[in-house]
């Protein structure tokens, strides 16, 4: 028998912006109607107390959460704990991200994601391999001893998930355009990141099938007056997507405003680059056996190098409104509709409309998460996020 749930008494984010006096009707995990009226129709009534109902957040760069680092726990249980930690903050879909590691760890991570999707672990959309095909000059916190150029067998491994989405961040200057095109043609979402590419090299990479840029501005050649660099190529290209980390540490708010203004609407998306402290109990963690510390939401090595973030998606949305100055509806789209489009899932996730999966987030007036739902099922409880 079908189960019907009606969400009402909220500002509902539709394609027209936030609207009041709507009821969102969910049956069997999908939105079947968005109707005028406070509580139209029969079924379980969910009163959202005048808050905001927005599409579930989608994060394409999640290294860890709940005191778990994906590299250290490339297992179904590790994925389950990471996803559960982020659901508290409105993330209903994520790409678990493996930081540059050995091929054996990559294999285990891919197998774990495949099995997690088969088991229906809520929120797992695929895998993001951030490296190990990066530029040592822009390594960030990655271990350059693990950097290498993949052979044919390793390229087969990268494209072997078979379910969900596969995203790879690489330094495109290390690859022939034909190799980039072959990966894209096999369904891999290829992004440039941790790259020393020139403006010209990244333009060529976009033409060869590179789809976007991982954490714009960070770990890439900067925009200069005579050398536009990777940042210039990314901002100029109208078709590529850019992930941005809005935590107050990775990128200055003025640079974010300039970048958002430069790109066509819909091509900027929020990411967290989250590390284990998100939704966890410990401030510190280790990467490659090296201690990392998180203070005031900033994760660093002992020498001050940024090591991912302690950012959650609800805070990213809030920061985009309060620090960058974007309207709430656009900030929410940057956390939902735009990453869904980037992943090729824009027809089923990221919007509140009939036919879409009922991945939903309830925010209060302070933009803090009061509840989240994946496929219409309660997936999170009130949290400080």
- What average pLDDT does range 304-308 have in this prediction? 95
User: Taking residues 67-91, what's their average pLDDT?
Assistant: 98
Q: Supply the DSSP symbol for 138.
A: G
Asked if 361 and 57 touch (Cβ cutoff 8 Å), the reply is: yes
Q: What percent of the chain has pLDDT over 90?
A: 93
Residues 164-173: what's their mean pLDDT?
98
Q: Could you tell me the pLDDT band of residue 283, with boundaries at 50, 70 and 90?
A: confident
What are the domain boundaries of the chain? 4-54+350-380, 57-342
What is the model's pLDDT at position 385? 41
- Beta pairing class for 268-270 and 241-244: parallel
Catalytic positions: 273
- Please identify, in words, the CATH class of the domain defined by 4-54+350-380: mainly beta
The domain made up of 57-342 is a member of CATH 3.40.50.620? no
The answer to which of 32-46, 128-142, 277-291, 323-337 has the lowest mean pLDDT is 32-46
Helix axes 253-262, 229-236, angle to 10 degrees: 40
Q: How far apart are CA 330 and CA 327, in angstroms?
A: 6
Predicted local confidence at residue 2, as pLDDT: 79
Asked if domains 4-54+350-380 and 57-342 share a fold, the reply is no
Q: Is the pLDDT assigned to residue 323 strictly greater than 60?
A: yes
């Amino acid at each position: 028998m079908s189960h019907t749930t009606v969400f009402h008494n909220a500002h509902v984010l539709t394609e027209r912006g936030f609207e009041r006096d709507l009821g969102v009707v969910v049956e069997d995990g999908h939105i079947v109607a968005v109707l005028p009226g406070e509580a139209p129709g029969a079924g379980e009534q969910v009163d959202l107390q005048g808050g905001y109902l927005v599409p579930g957040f989608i994060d394409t760069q999640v290294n860890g959460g709940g005191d778990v680092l994906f590299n250290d726990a490339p297992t179904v249980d590790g994925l389950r704990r990471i996803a559960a930690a982020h659901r508290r903050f409105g993330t209903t879909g994520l790409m678990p991200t493996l930081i540059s590691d050995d091929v054996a760890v990559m294999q285990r991570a891919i197998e774990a994601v495949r099995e997690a999707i088969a088991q229906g672990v809520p929120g797992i959309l695929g895998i993001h391999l951030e490296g190990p095909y990066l530029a040592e000059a822009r390594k960030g916190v990655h271990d350059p001893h693990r950097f290498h150029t993949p052979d044919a067998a390793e390229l087969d491994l990268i494209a072997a998930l078979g379910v969900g989405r596969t995203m790879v961040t690489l330094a495109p200057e290390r690859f022939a355009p034909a190799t980039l095109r072959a990966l894209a043609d096999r369904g891999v979402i290829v992004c440039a990141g941790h790259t020393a590419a020139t403006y010209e090299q990244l333009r060529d990479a976009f033409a060869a099938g590179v789809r976007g840029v991982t954490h714009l501005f960070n770990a890439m050649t900067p925009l200069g007056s005579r050398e536009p660099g990777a940042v210039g190529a990314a901002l100029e290209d109208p078709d590529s997507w850019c992930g941005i980390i809005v935590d107050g540490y990775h990128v200055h708010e003025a640079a974010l405003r300039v970048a958002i203004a430069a790109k066509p609407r819909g091509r900027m998306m929020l990411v967290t680059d989250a590390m284990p402290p998100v939704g966890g109990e410990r401030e510190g963690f280790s990467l490659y056996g090296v201690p990392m510390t998180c203070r005031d939401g900033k994760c660093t090595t002992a020498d001050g190098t940024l090591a991912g973030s302690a950012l959650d998606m609800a805070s990213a949305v809030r920061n985009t409104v309060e620090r960058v100055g974007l309207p709430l509806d656009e900030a929410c789209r940057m956390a939902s509709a735009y990453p869904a489009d980037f992943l090729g899932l824009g027809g089923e996730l990221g919007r509140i409309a009939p036919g879409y999966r009922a991945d939903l987030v309830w925010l209060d007036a302070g933009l803090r998460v009061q509840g989240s739902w994946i496929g219409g099922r309660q997936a999170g409880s009130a949290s400080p996020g």
